[in-house]
C-alpha cells in the first residue's frame, strides 16, 4: 500500500506554491510514495486580494482539516508574517480541533517549508514558532537538517532555507525561488518521504 505524503500550503503571491511543487516532485521520486499537493482556504476577500496585487490561486485542490488524517506524513508550507506563519495557515490549524481531540495526527511525521520577505524576516523563527501546532497534535517533526549538503553553506548568493526546512526570499514579491532553493525543496520532499516510508514500514 502506497505511503501517502500530503504537501499542504498557503501562498499569497505564489512563492510558497513554487516550493510546494518541487517538494511534491521530490516526495514522488521515492518508490512506493504517493504525494499529493493541497492548498488551505483563503480567508481574505477577493477585493482585498486584488488591492494587494495578489495573482489568482493555482488550480490546486483546497483541503479540509479532516482530510489531513488520510495522510501518512504531511509537509506544511506558508509565508511569514512578522516571523510567524500567515494567518490563513493559522486559521486552518485552528480548524483542526476535532483531529486534536481524537489525536488523529499523533505519530505522523510532519515537515515545514516557508517564504520570507527579507533575510532577517524569519527563516528560522517562522518554522520554530509553527512547531507548537505540530506538538499539540502529537506529530513527529522531521527537520531537513543539513542533509542537503554543501549547498546549504554557500555564500556566493542569497539563498533561503535553514535546517528546519526549505525556504525562499520573496523580497518585494519580484524575487522568485532560485535554482538552489528549488533543489533544496526537492531534496526536502525526497528526504521527508523516505522518513515517512520508514515510519510506516516499522508500524
| Domain assignments of the chain as residue spans, ordered by start | 3-201
pLDDT, tens digit, 9 for 90 and up, residues 46-98: 999 999 989 889 899 999 999 999 999 999 999 999 999 999 999 999 999 99
From 71, 187, 193, select the one nearest 137 (Cα to Cα).
71
CATH level 2 (architecture), domain 3-201: 3-Layer(aba) Sandwich (3.40)
* Closest alpha carbon to 179 in 149, 159, 197: 159
186 band by pLDDT with thresholds 50, 70 and 90:
very high
* 118-127 residue pLDDT tens: 887 789 999 9
CA 84/CA 188 separation, integer angstroms? 21
Which grid coordinates belong to 94? 485552528
Least confident of 22-26, 84-88, 120-124, 136-140: 120-124
| pLDDT, position 33 | 97
pLDDT of residue 202: 79
Determine the pLDDT at residue 119: 82
Following CA atoms 49, 57, 143, 186 in sequence, which dihedral angle do they give, to the nearest 10 degrees?
A: -140
- Give the helix, strand, coil percentages of the chain, each rounded to 5: 40, 20, 40
- Nearest CA to 108 out of 31, 199, 20 is that of 199
In this predicted model, which residue has the larger pLDDT, 69 or 152? 69
pLDDT at 48: 95
Residue 157 pLDDT > 90: no
CB atoms within 10 A of CB 83: 15
Give 115's pLDDT tier (boundaries 50, 70, 90). Answer: very high
What pLDDT score was predicted for residue 179? 96
Residue 165's pLDDT band (cuts 50, 70, 90): very high
Going by their DSSP bridges, the two strands 140-141 and 84-85 should be labelled as unpaired
- Grid coordinates representing 78 are 506558508
pLDDT greater than 80 at residue 203:
no
Strand locations in the chain (E):
3-9, 33-39, 73-81, 84-85, 109-116, 140-141, 167-169
The DSSP 8-state label assigned to residue 114 in this structure reads E
pLDDT, residue 155, reads 86
pTM for the full predicted model: 0.96
Please check the confidence at residue 201 and state whether its pLDDT lies above 90: no
Amino acid at each position: 500500500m502506497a505511503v501517502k505524503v500530503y504537501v499542504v500550503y498557503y501562498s499569497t503571491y505564489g512563492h510558497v506554491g513554487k516550493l510546494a511543487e518541487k517538494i511534491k516532485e521530490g516526495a514522488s521520486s521515492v518508490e512506493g510514495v504517493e504525494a499529493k499537493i493541497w492548498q488551505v482556504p483563503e480567508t481574505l476577500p477577493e477585493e482585498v486580494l486584488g488591492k494587494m496585487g495578489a495573482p489568482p490561486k493555482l488550480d490546486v485542490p483546497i483541503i479540509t482539516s479532516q482530510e489531513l488524517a488520510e495522510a501518512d506524513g504531511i509537509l506544511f508550507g506558508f509565508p511569514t508574517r512578522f516571523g510567524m506563519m500567515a494567518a490563513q495557515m493559522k486559521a486552518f490549524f485552528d480548524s483542526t480541533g476535532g483531529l486534536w481531540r481524537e489525536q488523529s495526527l499523533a505519530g505522523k511525521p510532519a515537515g515545514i517549508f516557508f517564504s520570507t520577505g527579507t533575510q532577517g524576516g524569519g527563516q528560522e523563527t517562522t518554522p520554530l514558532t509553527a512547531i507548537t501546532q505540530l506538538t499539540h497534535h502529537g506529530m513527529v517533526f522531521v527537520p531537513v537538517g543539513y542533509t542537503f549538503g554543501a549547498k546549504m553553506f554557500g555564500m556566493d548568493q542569497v539563498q533561503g532555507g535553514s535546517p528546519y526546512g526549505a525556504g525562499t526570499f520573496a523580497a518585494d514579491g519580484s524575487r522568485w525561488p532560485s535554482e538552489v532553493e528549488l533543489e533544496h525543496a526537492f531534496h526536502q520532499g525526497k528526504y521527508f518521504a523516505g522518513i515517512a516510508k520508514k515510519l510506516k514500514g516499522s508500524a
